[in-house]
Amino acid sequence: MLLALLPMALALLVLPEGERSVGVEFGSMLGLLALGVLAMQLVISGRHRWFGSGVGLDNMLQVHRQLGIFALVLVLVHPAVMMFSNPDYVEYLDPRQETLRAMALILIVLATSVLIVSSLWRKRLGLSYEWWRALHGALALFVVAGGLGHALMVSHFTAGVAIQLLLILLFAIPLGLLLDSRLLRVMRMRRRPWRVVVNHAERGDAVSLTFEPQGDHRLDFKAGQYLWITLGKTPFSLQQHPFSISTSAAQPGRIGITAKCLGDFTCSLPDVVPGSLAWVEGPYGDFVSDPHNPSGIVLMAGGIGVTPMMSMLRTYRDGSVKMPLWLVYANETWEEATYREELDELTKALDLEVIHVIDQPPEGWEGESGFIDEALITRRLPADDGRREYFICGPAPMMNATEKALRSVGVSPTRINSDHFDLV
């Protein structure tokens, strides 16, 4: 967060001549804070492992979204405060006074608004992930460049050459990191191609793809982590999507994913032909467990959110892990329970209890029905001992309800790990 405050800190080192009202100075500070928040966003979007390590994808995504909304508020409030404190600043938005400046400032406000609206309501707007990604990147660079140019041209706090150079450097570093993630990292991926070797249909309108490296490289990962995959002849593509790894971490030379038909890209996966080229970036994420926890772990999945749990269970099986395990697995119907046959086999290899929860159970169903709630947790799981870890993955409503139920029975939020698989 220090990066977001740096433009303001640099400005406070300068004592410009001339008196301005408190409101105008406050408005200027809001603009500089907006600039710092935008620089912070560039770093977050680069998916750098050293940044936010231990925070997790879900939390990092929430930070990115909230900072985006905060930046929009700052971009809107900054000129409002300035103009309210001194009506002369209305001229900045008057094309008759200076057309280029006015149009640039208006476009920055509009671009920031479109950035946030398209990110929060992409699906409602009918934007494909690929088109949204292109739009998001282009608008973000425009807003950052326009904001930096505005700060340098206004030059009240940034009149000195030293301050201007420091401000440019402040943005050159995040932009360099972004260039590394969007170009140099992709160029490195070209040297490590993978191929699809298995395309297998699963229950619940899902499909599993298995990849093997074309060369002597491999992907070392921890069970529960995720990666970004691009399918096609080149890694230079907007079609790059995140997937939790579903295979065992004990077999890093062979990785797999399982996805349900939820959009244009995932619905096309059944048509992927074995032998197709794939490009893998990762692994990422901190949705990982301690395989030596004597109290064991509880896995709570909704639908295809069971994918990272399967990686954990397969890894425990291959590593002959001996600790108590529970999987609470919620599905709308019994037929949609992906991996259910393999889960039966895993109960024989592990100290594992699988608790199926079916919203619309078949006739004669004797298991749990409805949703995961406090009553079910109390009835089917052992009392929390203060050490057991809980992992939740699934649709947002299911995750929110499950987290609330766990907290209501006394589970500390510090031992509840969540992983939202619907990123944007």
Final residue of a structural domain among 160, 187, 214 = 187
Lowest mean pLDDT among 54-68, 133-147, 222-236: 54-68
Q: Which residue has the higher pLDDT, 23 or 355?
A: 355
The enclosing domain of 203 has a CATH number of: 2.40.30.10
- For residues 330 and 301, is the Cβ–Cβ distance under 8 A? yes
**376 pLDDT band (50/70/90 cuts)?**
very high
pLDDT tens per residue, range 227-270: 999 999 999 988 889 999 999 999 988 999 999 988 888 999 99
Looking at the structure of the chain, the number of domains it has is 3
Residue 100 has pLDDT above 90, yes or no: no
Q: In this predicted structure, what is the pLDDT of residue 423?
A: 56
Distance separating alpha carbons of residues 35 and 33, to the nearest angstrom:
5
Closest of 232, 337, 352 to residue 280, by C-alpha: 232
Q: Is residue 46 part of a domain?
A: yes
Q: Is residue 311 part of a domain?
A: yes
Residue 418 has pLDDT above 60, yes or no: yes
Q: Is residue 301 part of a domain?
A: yes
Residue 289 has pLDDT above 70, yes or no: yes
* Domain housing 102: 2-187
Q: In this predicted structure, what is the pLDDT of residue 122?
A: 86
Final residue of a structural domain among 238, 258, 284 = 284
- For residues 244 and 311, is the Cβ–Cβ distance under 8 A? yes
Q: Is residue 304 part of a domain?
A: yes
Same-domain pairing of 177 and 54? yes
Distance separating alpha carbons of residues 386 and 383, to the nearest angstrom:
9
Same-domain pairing of 170 and 197? no
Same-domain pairing of 43 and 181? yes
Q: Is residue 360 part of a domain?
A: yes
Q: Is residue 347 part of a domain?
A: yes
User: What does each C-alpha distance from 253 to 29, 212, 216 come to in angstroms?
Assistant: 52, 6, 9
Question: Average model confidence (pLDDT) for the chain?
Answer: 89
- The mean per-residue pLDDT over the stretch 377-398 comes to 95
pLDDT tens per residue, range 313-335: 999 999 999 999 999 999 999 99
Final residue of a structural domain among 128, 156, 187 = 187
Share of the chain above pLDDT 70, in %: 93
Q: In this predicted structure, what is the pLDDT of residue 27?
A: 86
- The mean per-residue pLDDT over the stretch 208-234 comes to 94
Same-domain pairing of 98 and 237? no
Residue 51 has pLDDT above 90, yes or no: no
Tally of helices (H runs) and strands (E runs) in the chain: 13, 12
Q: In this predicted structure, what is the pLDDT of residue 18?
A: 60
Same-domain pairing of 359 and 403? yes
Range 105-135 burial, b when 16+ CB lie within 10 A, else e: beebbebbeebbebbeebeeeebebeebbeb
- The mean per-residue pLDDT over the stretch 144-163 comes to 78
Same-domain pairing of 157 and 304? no
Q: In this predicted structure, what is the pLDDT of residue 297?
A: 97
Same-domain pairing of 147 and 236? no
193-202 and 240-244: which strand pairing?
unpaired
Same-domain pairing of 6 and 137? yes
Same-domain pairing of 47 and 98? yes
Q: Is residue 316 part of a domain?
A: yes
Same-domain pairing of 179 and 33? yes
Distance separating alpha carbons of residues 367 and 274, to the nearest angstrom:
38
Same-domain pairing of 197 and 121? no
Same-domain pairing of 131 and 160? yes
Q: Is residue 291 part of a domain?
A: no
